[in-house]
Amino acid sequence: MKPPPPREGAAGTDGTGSTASAGSTEAVSLRLARLSARTGLSPEELGVARIYDRAHEDRREHGPLRGLDVLVKDLNRVGGEVTTFGSVGHAVVAETDDTAVTRLLEEGARLVGASVTAEFGATVYTEPAHGPGPVNPIDRRMTSGGSSSGAAVAVARGIVDVAHASDGGGSIRVPAAAVGLPGLKPAHNVDNGGLPNPAAQGFIARDLDLTARAYGISGRSSPSSPPSPTRPLRLGHTNRPFHTTTAVEPTVANATAAAASLLVTHPAVSGVRPVTAPYPVEHFDVYSRVMAARCRDLPDPATTMPTWLRQQGLDLTPAEIAAATDAVSALPGDILTAWDGDADGPVDVVVTPMLACAPPRIGAFSRAPGPETRDPAADFQAQTAWTPWATLWNLTGWAGLSVPLVSPDAAPGRWPVSVHLGAVADRVSAAELLDLAHHLQETMARMVDADASVLDAVTLAGPGDLDALIEAPSRDGQ
């Protein structure tokens, strides 16, 4: 399979150094305007909340983002610029850069604007109360995920090649998978001495190589010369949801099982074995209390879902929060006990689906459990049913990578299945996860070149049927 052509409006990534700040912003603005004229979509529908009048950069810095135009997620404060936190009712002009933005500048980024985000980053879909949300370039009927959906859509549309994003429950990996891009949540520290923090800062980039560059990870010198394996890697695989008893769409399950098998052809992989869910599904209720507790201070006004999450947090007693905190602290050890205790030995990477079905239709979550109902508890359960694996890697702080098996350009109008490669503890690095993903995509591309009908087994046409997942119980054979 030949490499796909650049997406419409694709940004350049020659990395030759900074240009004039105003000129850089003007180039992105022009790219956005031309794409808007061609598609009939607004900037917000293309993932862009606003373009700054001038780029923010520190020309003294020569980090991995040097020479790249980067959008900042609209949850983060850039000094002198408006931040809305995904809600027009909370727009403020930041006095100073926040910690995440300071880090971006230190890494050499040229900050050119803000990307659309879900309100307060609280959901895995993005449907603003005022105005349109980002439109999925694969199929405009499909949700583009959340909460970093603007970042994913802007990159997928070629407005920028890299966008800042954050991931507190899948918010990098879910929207990346929704639009057919890779998404890496880096390893991060969950325990900061207080309430556990499941969120990591990161990026969404247009391909695996640029993802590696954005994170400052040394990549391959060429596709034919991967890093030398340092030891045999042991893979685990499951399609069984960790956090619900709902089903997985059969094509997704079959494609993930095939991907796990294909990874055995990587020279560093010694084998793959089944793994079970590492804890009872009921335990997710305990872990979700930490997320609710982190929402206790969300301000008014807020729409239904953030308001419900805030109330869930406020209803928790100090004892319940303390118990949930202790459970999250113990979680990595509990998982290692479960997975390492298998008779076939421990595993280094666990392969699961990223999403349980193709992105559902716009409104599928907010209307749960039915078209005439607005039940935030059912909304939360539906979000969990769609993404019943990713949060484990937020709660442990272990690295996780979502990777589409094929490029959306290989099967226009069809959604490519993404699998999740989850590190177990610190046994593998992000570089090793990326190399496994490279191998998987290259192997799949050769299969498609040999037989184009393979695409039918790893892509899906039309939005996912969320109701079917929720109504059908999970099966042990998946």
147 is catalytic: yes
Cβ atoms of 148 and 204 within 8 Å: the answer is yes
Q: Given 24, 147, 288, 366, which residue is catalytic?
A: 147
Q: Given 18, 171, 288, 402, which residue is catalytic?
A: 171
24 is catalytic: no
171 is catalytic: yes
Q: Given 18, 73, 144, 366, which residue is catalytic?
A: 73
Residues classed as catalytic:
73, 147, 171
